[in-house]
Homo-oligomer: A and B are copies of this chain.
Amino acid sequence: VGNELLIGQTLDTNSHWVAWQFNRFGWTVQRVTQLRDSLSALQHGLGEALERRPRMLVTIGGLGPTHDDMTLRGLSLAVRRPLTLNPKALDMVRKKYEKIETPAHLTFHRKKMAMLPRGSEPMANPLGTAPGVLARSSRTTIVSLPGVPKEMKAIFNASIVPILRESSGSQPVEVYLGFVGIVESALAPTLREVQSRFPGLYFKSHPRGLESGVRSLILLHIYTLRKSDPRMINRAVVFLVRRLAGLKSPS
């Protein structure tokens, strides 16, 4: 969440890091969406995501004290639960400000960070002020994290990784193969064949040289999509190499 992403000012490394965490524990990320700081964009974007009924929905950014931090307002509209002052969250916020002043002035803008959709739980933010938020809607666990990368990662590691680990299937098993001197279009029929023979594996070729050039290099990424026999990858590699050894010209 954030205009700074959509104007090309900030590169979204947060969703990349989070996607990798999900993948690491055997989860599949279906979609990443960047939304503007607009109540309507948030309400509709989050509503559409919930309609797809994922097991988990993560929002990043827009939890701070300023007028343009409106993720929880958008979430409140999408899940149809009003924002209410959460005592646990308020306590977390108060303790943060007590470090800089006694007594802490809990102004409107500071209390705002403790206004959560009814029924949600705050998650402690060890490095910043705005707590993370954990909510549920039907079968979806909703996780809202602040956008400052080190705060986002600290809350994710402390509060979300245990959930991912508990519900994880197997870790993905993967291998990368480099092919030199064969162009992607010539590799394509063989990839199609190996894909249909090994439906439990995922094959994706990444051209790294010129497709229409002599110095071609293709990086092939093979991995299992779900809990499956890791020896399948070995069998697929042997199959691929035998097939390619038999290729005489691009066919």
Q: What residues of chain A have their CB less than 8 Å away from a CB belonging to chain B?
A: 2-9, 11-13, 15-24, 28-37, 41, 45, 48, 64-68, 96-97, 99-101, 105, 107-110, 113, 128-130, 148, 172, 183-189, 191-192, 195, 202-207, 210-214, 221, 249-251
Residues of B within 8 A of A204 (CB): 2-4, 37, 66, 68
Instruction: Tell me the dominant secondary structure on chain A's binding face.
Output: mixed
A16 — nearest CB in chain B belongs to which residue? Answer: B11
Smallest beta-carbon distance A203→chain B, Å: 7
Known: A67-B191, A101-B250, A107-B250. 4 other contacts (CB 8 A): A8-B21, A8-B22, A32-B34, A65-B188
Q: Are A129 and B96 in contact (CB under 8 A)?
A: no
Q: A16-B11, A29-B7, A36-B30 are in contact. Are A129 and B185 (CB under 8 A)?
A: yes
Residues of B within 8 A of A203 (CB): 68
Q: Are B8 and A214 in contact (CB under 8 A)?
A: no
Residues of B within 8 A of A15 (CB): 34
Q: A67-B191, A100-B214, A195-B67 are in contact. Are A185 and B109 (CB under 8 A)?
A: yes
